[in-house]
A and B are shown apart, each in its own frame.
Chain A
Amino acid sequence: QITLKESGPTLVKPTQTLTLTCTCSGFSVTTTGVGVGWIRQSPGKALEWLALIYWDDDKRYSPSLKNRLTITKDASKNQVVLTLTDMDPEDTATYFCAHKLDWSWFEPWGQGTLVTVSS
């Protein structure tokens, strides 16, 4: 059974860097074909894709956030890490990680973690 779980701070201050960890189980982040993505959802708003990392360390980023985003993976811990620099209240959202299927749809998703940006 594939599961993913996000972890990280629930509150960050403006200008700080957010680091979120996605702990994966039921699959290896280094198995050929595997990808893990990050998607966020501001309160009451639609889903926004952020980044995707493949088994071979290839990466894709949302152009609107590319300068602030970094996605990496730690094979030894079977984790995927997302960092977002220079946090702003507009970055307040629930952040989800998800397992990529086929072309680039996602299933399953982690439960999500709400991150609030406030001083």
Chain B
Amino acid sequence: DIQMTQSPSSVSASVGDRVTITCRASQDISSRLAWYQQKPGKAPNLLIFAASTLQNGVPSRFSGSGSGTDFTLTISSLQPEDFATYYCQQANSFPLTFGGGTKVEIK
């Protein structure tokens, strides 16, 4: 199985801050990586797929980069509605696997 390791597990930030979350795969997954946002009590929402493609309707302050084993999700200017937990997911091979999540909290 491909292990997905996210860091940090949590981050405290203020509105307007730039936030970067990393995801590392245990083996090469090319660009087959997605990022999701999940708010408490809600289902995840797809933010980015294919490592860097923004899903329709997602604000441009979200961006993704990386390929191979190292990936990054960046929020350029954190907004109040961005406080949530973020997960990466590899889609390179089965079983599909998710990272452990990064909780973005209000500082």
Contact A46-B96, Cβ < 8 Å, known A107-B46, A109-B43, A109-B44: no
Is the Cβ of B46 less than 8 Å from the Cβ of A60? no
Q: Answer yes or no: A102 CB below 8 A from chain B CBs.
A: yes
Q: Answer yes or no: B81 CB below 8 A from chain A CBs.
A: no
Provide the main secondary structure of the chain B interface. Answer: loop
Which residues of A (67-119) have their CB < 8 Å from a CB of B? Answer: 96, 98, 101-112
Give the number of residues in B that approach A within 8 Å (Cβ atoms). 24
Note all chain B residues with C-beta closer than 8 A to A26.
Answer: none
Give the number of residues in A that approach B within 8 Å (Cβ atoms). 25
Note all chain A residues with C-beta closer than 8 A to B87.
Answer: 46-47
Which residues of B (60-84) have their CB < 8 Å from a CB of A? Answer: none
Instruction: Supply 6 A–B pairs (Cβ within 8 Å), ascending by A.
Output: A46-B87, A49-B97, A63-B1, A101-B46, A103-B49, A105-B89
Pairs of residues from A and B, 9 with the lowest C-beta to C-beta distance, nearest first = A107-B46, A109-B43, A105-B34, A103-B91, A104-B91, A49-B96, A47-B98, A105-B49, A46-B100
